Structure 1
Amino acid sequence: MPRAARRPPRLRGTVFRGSQAIADGLLTRNELRSSTWRPLFRDIYADADLPVSHRTRCALVARWLIPEGAAIAGRSAACLYGATNLDEQAPVEVVVPAGTRFGPVAGLRIHTTTLTDQDVRRRDGVPLTTAHRTCWDLARWLDPVEAVTMIDQFLARRIVTAPGLRDYALARAGDRGWRLALRAVDLADPGAESPQESRLRVRLVLAGLPRPETQYVVSDRGRFVARLDLAWPEVKVAVEYDGLWHSDPRQFHLDRRRLNRLLGNNWIVLHVTAQRLRDDFDGFVAELQARSTDAAKITLLPGNSGLDSCR
């Protein structure tokens, strides 16, 4: 039988530098390579029984890897603020002040740009970009749909406000990507209740449709009828994103009863699934236009509604 790997008490349930463990005589190089220890970054290991999240990885990067003046940024900062979830294996995003030589480092996504002391704060000892700076960077670094999806969550959680983000972007007018940041703020909406709802709404607007109202409440003579994900109340057309909760029979029953009431109020309600959003979005837009009434049809707005012109 193979010998069980040694697990020195000092290292159990901890994260440590491999070189230091070897220097202290706690492990040999061969023992360090065993499945008992999990490599996280170069020379940084964890007890394999220790749960490691993206937040954990961010803390380790801040403690042992990034230079003075650098900070956790982008999607990783958004994760620390609770505006998104990231897989443990996702690269940790960091921003390094211009002129600082650092990297590349496996497991990190490094951005080098202008960074001031006012753009960085500490949270549980971890330096990360402020919420406003994080949203600014997301708008400049990410696909427009994904950037707005995360900014929606910042707004929904009241971490930032739209006027505050707008002022931040306007104060940096002329900087690379400032128009992208401003446009992302204009597209953002705190009403989205899930990232997929955000993605659906933003893609519809970028496709040229008028901006829908989020979480629109339909009433009949003062009585509540339904709350809709996205709605154009002036033409009584709505879009509902069908998420995983539809596997719940009771929720499915309640939802269909709600939609029956809407039909009685002359609403048209279209449903879109993750597969439709991914594989047939153009077809869904065409269906949305075709199903609206001839008298008050949802029409595409003239011109390009995308963000490319804002760069």
Structure 2
Amino acid sequence: MFRGSLVVRAGLLTPAQLRTSAWRRLFPDVYACTTADVDHGLRAHAAARLLLPGAVVSGRSAAVLRGVDLADRDDVVTLTVPVSCRAGAVAGVSLTRRALAADQTTVRHGTRVTTPVRTALDLARRRPVEDAVADLDRFVRSGRVDLAAVRAAAAGLTGRDCRQVRQVAAVADGLAESPQETRLRLLLVRSGLPAPVAQHVVRDGGRFVARVDLAWPEHRIAIEYDGAWHGDPAQFRADRRRLNRLTAAGWRVVFVTATDLHRPDALVARLRRLLDAPRSA
């Protein structure tokens, strides 16, 4: 990665050569060799080190640099800059002007990045709130940060968004294996149904049966988010064996899809009927 104006000034490339297919433009005046594997992490490094030297990678981009893929390659890079920074809008970059304490940043692979707790607090500022909870759940589940530490830091926040950050930290649990599982859990909690148990381990006579996304153990009802069709024959057979084990143990399994999440009233009504139905012995 390099600044185009600098290499041209040094005589290493001519302006015409810089415009050839040998180089890829990442940001204004920031280039990389076309053979480079340009992912979101590389774009974040380029933005903080070359486009806006002194900027700190934060939010979802900071999570990516810590190994949690919360942003796709071409998603905007999130940076935090000092309040005094006069940089204008740049396509592909989202700037937050905020003073960061020295203990809220660190250096990772040569780039300044927010600490895990600071990153988590920034994730909790995302809107809508459901997306913020989903991001925080994934970040906590990755093991990069402790949820109790995030909640403690959120409790001490003041100023803009502090109420949302505390709300998000309070409802996150760091257990969901996908964003849609988080959204499903939040939907059920808001619906007035009993709070389900996340990632519940089902046992029958002390024998492990399965771990399910959400459950009402006292009703022996499991909820599984079905995000994609398992076309692989071996995976299909494994899923069916798992379902058979749950059924044999007396559990009812409800599969929820993205379509169901877009029709929440019908989904909640179906689950309420199951919960109200007499339980078998």
TM-score, normalised to structure 2's length?
Answer: 0.90
The CA distance in 2 between the partners of 1:97 and 1:132, in whole Å, is 19
Task: Note if contact 1:230-1:239 (Cα within 8 Å) is conserved in structure 2.
Answer: yes
Question: How many Å apart are 1:295 and its aligned residue?
Answer: 4.7
Which of residues 116, 126, 141 is equivalent to 1:141? Answer: 126
Which of residues 177, 188, 198 is equivalent to 2:182? Answer: 198
Task: Note if contact 1:84-1:150 (Cα within 8 Å) is conserved in structure 2.
Answer: no
Aligned residue number for residue 24 of structure 1: 10
The CA distance in 2 between the partners of 1:217 and 1:66, in whole Å, is 48
- 2:125 is paired with a residue whose SS is helix
Matches within 5 A, 1:61-80: 61-68=47-54, 70-80=55-65
- Residue type at the aligned position of 1:293: D
Aligned residue number for residue 189 of structure 1: 173
Calculate the aligned-residue CA RMSD, in Å. 2.1
1:285 aligns with 2:271: no
Task: Note if contact 1:245-1:251 (Cα within 8 Å) is conserved in structure 2.
Answer: no
Aligned residue number for residue 251 of structure 1: 235
Question: How many Å apart are 1:289 and its aligned residue?
Answer: 1.8
Which of residues 113, 125, 138 is equivalent to 1:128? Answer: 113
- Residue type at the aligned position of 1:159: R
Which of residues 203, 209, 214 is equivalent to 2:193? Answer: 209
The CA distance in 2 between the partners of 1:282 and 1:130, in whole Å, is 40
Question: How many Å apart are 1:168 and its aligned residue?
Answer: 0.3
Aligned residue number for residue 97 of structure 2: 112
Task: Note if contact 1:121-1:129 (Cα within 8 Å) is conserved in structure 2.
Answer: yes
- 1:101 is paired with a residue whose SS is coil
Distance 1:34 1:275, change over 3 A: farther
Question: How many Å apart are 1:56 and its aligned residue?
Answer: 0.8
TM-score, normalised to structure 1's length?
Answer: 0.82
- Residue type at the aligned position of 1:195: P
- Which 10-residue stretch deviates more, 162-171 or 287-296? 287-296
Larger relative contact order (CA 8 Å, sep ≥ 6)? 1
- Residue type at the aligned position of 1:203: L
- Residue type at the aligned position of 1:211: A
Moved over 6 A (4+): none
Question: How many Å apart are 1:211 and its aligned residue?
Answer: 2.7
- 1:100 is paired with a residue whose SS is coil
The CA distance in 2 between the partners of 1:127 and 1:206, in whole Å, is 39
- C-alpha offsets along residues 258-280 of structure 1, whole Å, 9 cap, x if unaligned? 22232333322110123433x33
Structure 1 unaligned blocks of 5 or more: 1-14, 297-311
- Residue type at the aligned position of 2:242: R
Task: Note if contact 1:131-1:159 (Cα within 8 Å) is conserved in structure 2.
Answer: yes
- C-alpha offsets along residues 128-163 of structure 1, whole Å, 9 cap, x if unaligned? 111111111111233222211221122222222121
- 2:273 is paired with a residue whose SS is helix
Count, aligned residues? 279
Task: Note if contact 1:19-1:43 (Cα within 8 Å) is conserved in structure 2.
Answer: yes
Distance 1:38 1:73, change over 3 A: same
Matches within 5 A, 1:162-177: 162-172=147-157, 174-177=158-161
Task: Note if contact 1:78-1:150 (Cα within 8 Å) is conserved in structure 2.
Answer: no
Aligned residue number for residue 71 of structure 2: 86
Aligned residue number for residue 30 of structure 2: 44
- Residue type at the aligned position of 1:250: A
**Percentage of matched positions with identical amino acids:** 44
1:234 aligns with 2:218: yes
Which of residues 130, 136, 139 is equivalent to 1:151? Answer: 136
Question: How many Å apart are 1:245 and its aligned residue?
Answer: 6.2
The CA distance in 1 between the partners of 2:205 and 2:238, in whole Å, is 21
Question: How many Å apart are 1:218 and its aligned residue?
Answer: 1.4
The CA distance in 2 between the partners of 1:102 and 1:61, in whole Å, is 12
